[in-house]
Amino acid sequence: MKDRVDYTLYLCTDRELMSCDTVEQSVREAVEGGATVVQLREKDVSSLEFYDLAVRVKEITDKYRVPLIINDRADIALAADCSGVHLGQSDLPCKVARKILGDRLIGVSVSTVEEAVRAQQDGADYLGVGAMYPTSTKTDTEFVTKEVLADIRAAVDIPIVIIGGINQSTLSNFKGMGIDGIAVISAIVSKPDIRAAACEIKRLWTE
């Protein structure tokens, strides 16, 4: 499965930014518009609520054969039988998550060459590199220059997804850099027509 993952349009959910009533609806519309991976992010809910939501969202992603990645929580990913987990630098170490999750997908957020190389050595399947630009979803993050992104690309051979302020007007800055996909949040989920926004961003990235 890992070799067949299409990271082209990587949707991250955000209930605070979404234009619709439910996370499930935002995911359904985004995958209908062309999202190829979904990461479920929930910072302020109980473990039970997160699990129940993951089960409901997985019914949608399974229907469209889109991998569902859980942010931070390896236990939720395993309990809900999701495709994998995405880890930050302050989350469970990748090596430990690998022992828990077996051959499921593990992504790691990185912002330096050193972090990228360590993540690959520790068994990460893909990297989330950023933030590329200021973003409302993360205010305490370091910015990654295009030069550093190029250095990371040269240093690792696993897929790279860029994140942080990626939208219709900024994505063209990263074409031709060997990037496997773009992670998008507000430029999709906050739009009145989520499906159309996803479709347009995917078209702009892939054309």
Contact 113, 148 (CB under 8 A): yes
How does pLDDT run across 167-195, given as a tens digit for each residue?
999 999 999 999 999 999 999 999 999 99
Share of the chain above pLDDT 70, in %: 97
* Measured distance CA(11)–CA(23) in Å, rounded: 12
Residue 17: what pLDDT? Answer: 96
Residue 1: what pLDDT? Answer: 62
**For the chain, what are the domain ranges?**
2-206
- Find all residues with CB under 8 Å of 145, minimum gap 6, and list them: none
Mean pLDDT within 19-36: 98
For residues 65 and 135, which has the higher predicted lDDT (pLDDT)?
A: 65
Note the maximum CA span of the chain.
42
For residues 149 and 135, which has the higher predicted lDDT (pLDDT)?
A: 149
What's the CATH superfamily of 2-206? Aldolase class I (3.20.20.70)
Residues assigned a catalytic role: 41, 109, 138
Banded model confidence at residue 140, pLDDT cuts 50, 70, 90: low
Residue 134: what pLDDT? Answer: 83
How does pLDDT run across 68-121, given as a tens digit for each residue?
999 999 999 999 999 999 999 999 999 999 999 999 999 999 999 999 999 999
Tokens 């170490």 locate to 93
